[in-house]
Each structure stands twice: as C-alpha cells, then as structure tokens.
Amino acid sequence: MAKDVLCAVNSCTYWEEENRCKAESIFVAYHAAKQPTEPEETDCKTFKKK
Ligand code: SF4
C-alpha cells in the first residue's frame, strides 16, 4: 500500500503544503486506453478540484 504520497497538483482539494496528499487512498488509472509505458500516461482519478 502506498504511504506518504507526494503530489504536485496543488489545484486538488487533497493537496497540502510540501506536496503532500491528504486523501485516505488514491486511485490511479490509465490516462488513455492504451497500456502506459511512461509516467505521463497515468492519472490520479481521486483528484477533486478545489
Ligand atoms: S488526490 Fe491525487 S491529485 Fe489530489 S493531491 Fe492526492 S495524489 Fe494529488
């Protein structure tokens, strides 16, 4: 299980100072239909706009 998730998306409700994620858990999924091969091809679906 992931612990101490760091995230730079400061427009998210769950974002805190020092790039901390305060969500209890996060769900990361494919950015597009194809199998990711690069980090940019994954997305946090727990993101919620502030
Ligand atoms: S929920 Fe996702 S996008 Fe939001 S702070 Fe946590 S890791 Fe980042």
C-beta 43 within 6 A of ligand 1: no
pLDDT of residue 1: 76
* Distance of CA 24 from the midpoint of ligand 1 (Å): 10
**Ligand 1 pocket, residue 36 CB under 6 Å:** no
Protein residue closest via CA to atom 6 of ligand 1:
21
Question: For 3-45, what is each residue's pLDDT tens digit?
Answer: 899 999 999 999 999 999 999 999 999 999 999 999 999 999 9
**Residue 23 in contact with ligand 1 by CB distance below 6 A:** yes
Task: State which residues form the domain around 22.
Answer: 1-50
The predicted structure's pLDDT at residue 5: 96
- The predicted model scores a pTM of 0.90
Cβ burial of 23 (10 Å; 0-12, 13-18, 19+) is middle
d(CA 25, CA 1): 9
The number of distinct structural domains making up the chain is 1
Residue 42 vs residues 17, 22, 30: alpha-carbon distances, Å: 23, 20, 5
| Extended beta strands in the chain, E state | 15-16, 20-21, 28-30, 42-44
Which pLDDT band, with edges at 50, 70 and 90, does 2 fall under?
confident
